[in-house]
Structure 1
Amino acid sequence: MLRSASTPLLAALLAACPANQASKTEAGKTEAGKPAEAVKPSADGLAGETPTTKAHMQDHFSKAAEIKAALIAGDLEQAREPAGWMAEHQADVEHPDAWKPHVTNMREAARVIGGAEDLTTATQAFVTLAQVCAACHTAIGGPKVDVGEPPAAGASGSAAHMARHQWALDAMYQGLIGPSKAAWVIGAEALAEAPLAPTELAPGQSIPVQITELAARVHALGNEARDVPDVAMIPGRIYGELLTTCETCHAALRRN
């Protein structure tokens, strides 16, 4: 069914996807053009935190973001290097006692990602890694999470819509690892908006049914995700399915 779509349509959709946009931005920039540092949660106030450990935690956030981007793009090989870094970096450093069990669990999840033979296994391990981060942050009292406001919802076109998707996934991720109910919900609400109409994606062209169904599933998951009664009940399962849905969509777009 996907083969019936025209090459210009697939090119347009792929260009609009966050995974492809990321390779076109300047180094150190997010989709919105903000410095990457601006979207990192603050590590201020963590128990036992020093300037060195603060920088270390920010490095972890950046490497985890690289893994997430690779998984969304469906590129398992690209996820291996940052996963290996998280599994081995500063392995000989003596962390505060409160951190130790969480660091061990984080490294194990990273090793699973690095050694995964398929995207499903790697994605499940990435969700586990994020939940380990959340458990650690809950135990030691941090970090602060402020994702700001999503890109304007009124902008038309697939590129604007996909940029909003990327922002939403990033906000939900910060809500997952924070943990932060506010960040999770605002990201989920951005995803829960009505899917793009076919005429917005490619005026005058037919849209493969699978792509339409995957887009609808993303929005349905956003709608389900925003109903979170408590920060301790943020559903990592939904985030994992969101990543898998993005992976599947990108793979479908490439199969033309």
Structure 2
Amino acid sequence: MRCLGSLGLCCLLACPAPAVDDVDDGAPDAASQVTAPPGTATAMVDHFHDSLRIKNAVIAGDLAEVPPAAQRLAEQLVPERFPAAWRDHLGPTMRMAATAGAARELPEAAAAAAGLASACGDCHAAIGRGPEFPAPGVPPVGESHDTRAHMARHQWAADRMWEALVSRSEPAWSAGATALVNAPLNSEDLTRDVELPQEALDLGVRVHDLAARATHVTDWPARTAIYGEFLASCAGCHTGGC
């Protein structure tokens, strides 16, 4: 089994399927019975890296970095390269990649990035195989007024929630949402060394409102929408001077 070093992601098709609540293990569909052709695992690793680049570019507020990764991803998702039983599941992923690449505003790119992760998760659930991430673990901790530590916790939460969408992991989603709820940022801390507009400060409050919603929502479409709003809030804060 080949793994991606510190990322801890095993090649998509070499790992057992993550647990998915709404999959009937007693009656697998045809897609889950297909043997992947040679080279598919390597291609999936490339898809993984490009989807990560899209997510991280949105978080950083760097819209210019989204189209190259989205274009590579869309170009690689050629249906003819995949078993026929899988092809119907590729459409949403291709559409989300195209939407991300064409986005003209960060909120649009954020929604597409979340939709892309969720489309990947839907496909993985349908074909009965997908990435296996390490257990969520413990988020970073720091002093109550340490803004840098809070930001590291936000990034940790963003990564866990993204992994949850991609792999349909309940523990990863819960860990990410809980980490956000427990990492509120005071406006006094954010403005200690820099002056920020009120809009940026309001986004910090919004992130934690979204986290509170995320801890109670149980269906993946609603979680996807919340995650898109979370990414957009991160991007707005970072481009606003945070």
Distance in 1 of aligned mates of 2:37 and 2:135? 24
Match of 2:174 among 174, 182, 185: 185
State yes or no: 1:99 paired with 2:86. yes
**TM-score, normalised with respect to structure 1:** 0.75
> For residue 169 of structure 1, what is the aligned residue in structure 2?
158
The residue aligned with 2:58 is 71
In terms of mean alpha carbon deviation, does 129-138 or 77-86 score higher? 129-138
CA distance in 2, matches of 1:108, 1:57: 17
Residue 118 of structure 1: aligned partner: 105
Q: Distance in 1 between the 2:167 and 2:223 partners?
A: 13
Q: Relative to structure 2, which stretch is displaced further, 72-81 or 210-219?
A: 210-219
Is the CA contact (8 Å cut-off) linking 2:154 and 2:183 kept in structure 1? no
Q: Which residue number corresponds to residue 199 of structure 2?
A: 210
Correspondence for 2:7? 37
CA shift at 1:198, angstroms? Answer: 4.2
Q: Distance in 2 between matches of 1:173 and 1:205?
A: 30
Contact 2:181 2:212 in 1 (8 A): yes
- 1:105 CA drift (Å): 2.5
Residue in 1 that maps onto 2:217: 228
Find the residue that maps to 2:85 and give its secondary structure.
Answer: coil
Shift of 1:208: 4.4
The equivalent residue for 2:149 is: 160
Aligned equivalent of 1:242? 230
Distance 1:65 1:36 in 2: 14
Is contact 2:97–2:116 with CA below 8 Å preserved after alignment?
yes
**CA distance, structure 2, for counterparts of residue 35 and residue 190 of structure 1:** 25
Structure 1: give runs of 5+ residues left out of the alignment: 1-33
2:117 maps to 1:146: no
- 1:5-41: CA deviation from partner (whole Å, max 9, x where unpaired): xxxxxxxxxxxxxxxxxxxxxxxxxxxxx95532x36
SS at match of 2:88: helix
> Does 2:43 correspond to 1:56?
yes
Conserved? CA contact 1:109–1:126, under 8 Å? yes
Change (3 A) 1:177 1:197: same
Instruction: Note closer, same or farther for the CA distance 1:54–1:205 as it changes in structure 2 (3 Å cut).
Output: closer
User: Any idea what the Cα deviations from partners look like across 1:43-85, whole Å, max 9, x if unmatched?
Assistant: 2136434662222212211110100111112222110100000
Which stretch of structure 1 is more off in the superposition, 60-69 or 213-222? 213-222
**Alpha-carbon distance in 1 for matches of 2:129, 2:91:** 19
How many Å apart are 1:91 and its aligned residue?
A: 2.5
Residues 50, 167 of structure 1: CA spacing in aligned structure 2 closer, same or farther, 3 A cutoff? farther
Give the TM-score of the pair, scaled to structure 2.
0.79
SS at match of 1:219: helix
Q: How much does 1:142 deviate?
A: 2.8
Q: Distance in 2 between matches of 1:186 and 1:202?
A: 28
Change (3 A) 1:75 1:100: same
Tell me how far 1:124 sits from its aligned partner: 2.3
2:66–2:101 Cα contact (<8 Å) kept: yes
Tell me the distance in 1 between the aligned counterparts of 2:221 and 2:181: 19
Task: Give, in whole Å, the separation in 2 of the partners of 1:117 and 1:198.
Answer: 30
**Conservation of the 8 A alpha-carbon contact between 2:100 and 2:109:** yes
Are 1:42 and 1:145, in contact at CA under 8 Å, matched by a contact in 2? no
Q: Aligned partner of 1:242: which letter? A: F
Give the distance between the partners of 1:128 and 1:90, measured in 2 at CA. Answer: 16
- CA RMSD between the two structures: 2.6
Instruction: Tell me by how many angstroms 1:178 deviates.
Output: 1.0
